[in-house]
């Protein structure tokens, strides 16, 4: 419970040592939550995420568990489900993604695997800001370690952005990820919901 006193649970333990290496991260309790989530299964793991009230840090503070619950349940989707992680961080003065990647890359990878499991994703895409070359190398090295240790069961592709501010917007990011010009899509439809699922009011 010592982590609860830390001002940032995401960076907990990083001030006491280097958590970039897999062995060090695992000694600090890393990947234990992923193991627990796999034992619980997708539905129960999603319920745990809801109860945790995990929220995005992009300004709106929308609960991640509630957002994930808008998706069809695993096995009921009409097409493949992908998890896209936005680490573009083009907002001037914002460095939270860079700090996470630099200091606790395995925690990010672990979180991606838990989220992907909970929503039934078959592949994950991590879109990182193009200027973050050293961060890309840190993340790639951590991902290679986790893959070699067979901790990554749902494939993760790290994609470097093209340096455009607008690609931080979710639909522009998807356009860029698909090799198109990074510009926002017309809405609706909203990409996180299907026609058969209710939208929040």
pTM above 0.85, yes or no: no
Q: Which residue has the higher pLDDT, 116 or 165?
A: 116
Q: Write down the pLDDT at residue 117.
A: 95
Q: What is the pLDDT of residues 87-129, one digit of tens each?
A: 887 677 777 888 899 999 999 999 999 999 999 999 999 988 8
Averaged pLDDT for residues 35-47: 94
Chain mean position to CA 67: 13
Q: Considering only 21-30, 148-157, 167-176, which range has the smallest mean pLDDT?
A: 167-176
Average pLDDT over residues 4-8: 50
Which residues on adjacent β-strands are paired with residue 158? 126
Q: Are 127 and 161 in contact (CB under 8 A)?
A: yes
Q: For 123-162, how does the pLDDT look when each residue is reduced to its tens digit (9 = 90+)?
A: 999 988 888 899 999 999 999 999 999 999 999 999 988 7
Cα separation values, 161 from 97, 98, 183, Å: 14, 14, 13
Q: What is the pLDDT of residue 192?
A: 56
**pLDDT the model gives residue 60:** 66
Q: CA angle at residue 173 from 111 to 78, to 5 degrees?
A: 70
Strand partners, 187: none
Going from the N-terminus, what domains does the chain have, and what CATH number goes with each?
7-72+80-177 (3.40.50.11540)
CA-wise closest residue to 106 among 52, 49, 148, 145: 145
């Amino acid at each position: 419970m010592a982590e609860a006193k830390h001002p940032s649970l995401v960076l907990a333990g990083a001030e006491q040592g280097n958590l970039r290496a897999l062995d060090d991260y695992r000694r600090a309790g890393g990947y234990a939550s992923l193991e627990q989530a796999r034992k619980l299964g997708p539905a129960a793991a999603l319920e745990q995420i809801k109860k945790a009230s995990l929220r995005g840090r992009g300004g709106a503070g929308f609960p991640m568990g509630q957002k994930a619950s808008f998706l069809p349940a695993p096995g009921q989707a009409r097409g493949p489900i992908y998890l896209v992680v936005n680490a573009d961080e083009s907002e001037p003065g914002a460095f939270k993604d860079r700090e996470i990647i630099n200091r606790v890359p395995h925690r990010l990878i672990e979180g991606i695997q838990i989220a992907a499991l909970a929503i039934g994703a078959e592949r994950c895409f991590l879109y990182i800001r193009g200027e973050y070359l050293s961060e890309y190398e840190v993340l790639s090295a951590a991902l290679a370690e986790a893959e070699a240790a067979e901790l990554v069961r749902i494939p993760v592709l790290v994609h470097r952005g093209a340096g455009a501010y607008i690609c931080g917007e979710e639909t522009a990011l998807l356009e860029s990820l698909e090799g198109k010009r990074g510009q926002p899509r017309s809405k609706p439809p909203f990409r996180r919901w299907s026609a058969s699922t209710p939208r929040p009011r």
